[in-house]
Amino acid sequence: MPAAVESERIVLGAILTHETHHGQAAQLLRPDDFSLDSYRRLFRLFTEMREADTPIDLATVCEELKKRKLVEAVGGIAGVASLTDGAIPQRAHIEHHARKIRDCSHRRGFVHALDAAKARTLADEKLPEVCSDLMQSVLEYGNNTGRRRKLLISAPDFLAQAPEEIDWLVKGVIERGANGFFSAVPKGGKSWAAIDLALSLALGCDWLGFKVPQPVKTVLVSREDNPSLTAWRLRHLKAGKPYHDAGLLDANLKLNTRNQSADLMLDNREHMLELMASLTEFRPAFAIFDVFNVMHAADENDNQEMRAVLRQLSAIQAEVGCGIGVVHHFNKSDSGSMTQRLRGSSAIAGWAEWMVGISLADEESKTRRMEFELKAAQPPDPIYFRIDSAVDSNPARAHGSTCGGTATGRISGQVHEELR
């Protein structure tokens, strides 16, 4: 029977983590929409607790389950606690999962209606009555009558469901769950910056002076460069990071290169299914795709074709609950905003919620300028950094840098005041 068990788990886990998610889910779902009995019981309990103004958190829920003698019926305390494992999607994505749950519920209902009509027909009931009831089911499940979401919400309810502060993945630069671009001209240093960010997120250390609040699971999909070059950059950048638990990198950073799969195209259905399965299993908080133009066969200047490709990235964002960073190129123009300089159709720029743009600020010293655009807050001032490729066997020289990396391949992160 149709079921979206993973979405059911995600919605319940989101409510346990942030109880305000319940209001959004309850606009679309009833307890019976969940396919598993244990999940139906939990959602019904959450609803009753919400109506009684009882806090919905793990400790309080466990107390209620014990009081009602429902612990075994919902899979035990460990089973309930496991609902919060992995990345929790943003509020905008809860609706996506709730809709998947409701759609599967409607499909199950329609199958039951068909089974009932079949049984009644074989039992020689009056055919006009059977057809009439079946037609009613077609209308109900086909049009979702009586189950429409609320298009309007009161201001207090809206504010109660919204977080009081922005949830930053990188403080002041990248909001958790948001999507955007690293952009530069070819060989401008965007892959260096993206790999360095992946390391900073996985290890929970500052990125170019910007605070990373905590280590998070991160995926780096590196499709343009030879895997050995990606490994060289990763190895040397990692060596210059501050001291960290050796297990963090193993647990938090996963990669895909041409060694793992010869091709990985966003507009290939089979590739997308494989990618989605791997991401859903790992549950990253952030995924980096490097570089955009080698991961699709569409025309970058065609809005319709680009929207189709970007919808695949949005589907990953919604299904997995992660933010997405895409490495992309600037066009040949050296004027205008970063949005205007993005190569390709306007659909590409319209998709982004943040942008990191890199340009060469000083030719002689190879100093690069990094600029920012974002919708979540006022963008920070530009910063300046160098990618130092000088050969030096002394890694200690690099450990003092702001962002990390060894002298054989580092982003120093130092701000050069004379270039401001």
- With bands split at pLDDT 50, 70 and 90, how would you rate the model's confidence at 397? very low
- Res 336 pLDDT > 50: yes
Region class of 378: left (phi > 0), else alpha (psi between -120 and 50), else beta:
beta
3-state secondary structure of 359: strand
Mean pLDDT, range 346-365, rounded to an integer? 90
What pLDDT, on the 0 to 100 scale, is given for residue 394?
A: 39
Mean pLDDT, range 328-345, rounded to an integer? 86
What pLDDT, on the 0 to 100 scale, is given for residue 139?
A: 65
Q: State how far Cα 370 lies from the chain centre.
A: 24
Lowest-confidence region among 104-108, 267-271, 412-416: 412-416
β-strands 354-362, 179-184: how paired?
Answer: parallel
Closest C-alpha to 242, from 416, 413, 415, 417? 413
Sheet holding 286-290, edge to edge: 253-256, 218-222, 286-290, 323-329, 179-184, 354-362, 367-374, 383-388, 410-411
Q: Which two tokens stand for residue 142?
A: 């086909």
Residue 65's φ and ψ, nearest 5 degrees, are -65, -40
Q: Which two tokens stand for residue 327?
A: 């490495």
Please enumerate in sequence order all residues whose Cβ is within 8 A of that of 316, keeping only pairs 6 or more positions apart, or say none.
275, 276, 279, 287, 322, 324
What pLDDT, on the 0 to 100 scale, is given for residue 416?
A: 41
Lowest-confidence region among 13-27, 183-197, 288-302: 13-27
Report the distance separating Cα 94 and Cα 104, nearest Å: 16
Q: Which two tokens stand for residue 105?
A: 């519920």
- Res 306 pLDDT > 80: yes
Report the distance separating Cα 322 and Cα 252, nearest Å: 13
Residue 385 and residue 367 in contact, taking contact as beta carbons nearer than 8 Å? yes
Region class of 357: left (phi > 0), else alpha (psi between -120 and 50), else beta:
beta
pTM: 0.64
CATH 3.40.50.300 maps onto the chain at: 168-419
Closest C-alpha to 384, from 404, 362, 401? 362
Mean pLDDT, range 348-362, rounded to an integer? 92
Mean pLDDT, range 375-380, rounded to an integer? 87
Distances (CA, A) of 371 to 91, 96, 274: 28, 32, 35
Region class of 166: left (phi > 0), else alpha (psi between -120 and 50), else beta:
beta
What pLDDT, on the 0 to 100 scale, is given for residue 92?
A: 54
Report the distance separating Cα 285 and Cα 292, nearest Å: 20
- With bands split at pLDDT 50, 70 and 90, how would you rate the model's confidence at 12? very high
Mean pLDDT, range 245-267, rounded to an integer? 92
pLDDT in tens, 192-213: 999 999 999 999 999 999 999 9
Distances (CA, A) of 259 to 3, 221, 278: 35, 11, 16
Determine the length of the chain.
420
- Report DSSP state, residue 189: S
More confident call, 318 vs 286: 286
Amino acid at 94: I
What pLDDT, on the 0 to 100 scale, is given for residue 89?
A: 63
CATH 1.10.860.10 maps onto the chain at: 5-161
Per CATH, is 5-161 categorized as 3.40.50.261? Answer: no
State what percent of residues in the chain have pLDDT above 70.
85
- With bands split at pLDDT 50, 70 and 90, how would you rate the model's confidence at 91? low
Please report the beta strands in 107-263, taking only residues with DSSP state E, as ranges in sequence order.
168-170, 174-175, 179-184, 218-222, 253-256
What pLDDT, on the 0 to 100 scale, is given for residue 417?
A: 38
pLDDT in tens, 13-56: 999 988 888 888 888 899 999 999 999 999 999 999 988 888 99
- Res 407 pLDDT > 70: no
**Which of 20-34, 288-302, 306-320, 336-350 is the most confident on average?**
288-302
Mean residue pLDDT across the chain: 84
pLDDT in tens, 133-163: 887 777 666 655 445 556 677 787 677 766 6
What pLDDT, on the 0 to 100 scale, is given for residue 162?
A: 67
Report the CATH number of the 168-419 domain: 3.40.50.300
β-strands 383-388, 367-374: how paired?
Answer: antiparallel
Mean pLDDT, range 377-395, rounded to an integer? 72
> Looking up tokens 């977080």, which residue turns up?
163
3-state secondary structure of 389: coil
- Res 402 pLDDT > 60: no
Q: Which residue(s) pair with 367 in the sheet? A: 362, 386
Distances (CA, A) of 27 to 21, 94, 234: 10, 11, 45
* 332: exposed, middle or buried (Cβ count in 10 Å: 0-12, 13-18, 19+): exposed
State what percent of residues in the chain have pLDDT above 90.
49
Question: In 10 A of CB 350, how many CB atoms?
Answer: 13
Residue 394 and residue 412 in contact, taking contact as beta carbons nearer than 8 Å? no
More confident call, 26 vs 88: 26
Q: Which two tokens stand for residue 119?
A: 């049984």
